[in-house]
Structure 1
Amino acid sequence: MLRWARKKECTCLNSCQARKRTSDLAKIIELPMELQKAQREEQRVQTEEQRLEGQLILDQQKVNRP
């Protein structure tokens, strides 16, 4: 009986280690994806800022026309 219990404990430990490795791998894969998402958002914000700056210039030109 003791031998069986040790084997079961070992199997459970291996299973827990495998789940931890899988979880760690998932985190490693998610990091570049999150980085890409953040980069896309930053690019979107920069594009919007440029659009607004361009619109401001056009509005100022309209106001300054004689």
Structure 2
Amino acid sequence: MLIERTDGIEVGVAAGRAAAHWLTPDIDQWGHGYGWTGQAVDAGTLTVVSLVRGTPGKCDWCTSMP
């Protein structure tokens, strides 16, 4: 989503949501692989919102990148 403020500065908005869990790990675990095993219990929902200011296509620092 792109929002233009009254002062002419554009602000990009992005958001994401994910379920969070508490984990009671099993006693025996491997030190590698897909992560810990055990009993998962719902802990809640996380929501993250990011705002980015600027004008699209007018990046001063990115023109100096190879």
Fold conserved (TM > 0.5)? no
Under TM normalisation by the shorter chain, which class is it?
A: under 0.3
Greater relative contact order (Cα 8 A, min sep 6): structure 1 or 2? 2
Relative to its length, the structure with more strand (as a share) is 2
Bigger Rg, structure 1 or 2? 1
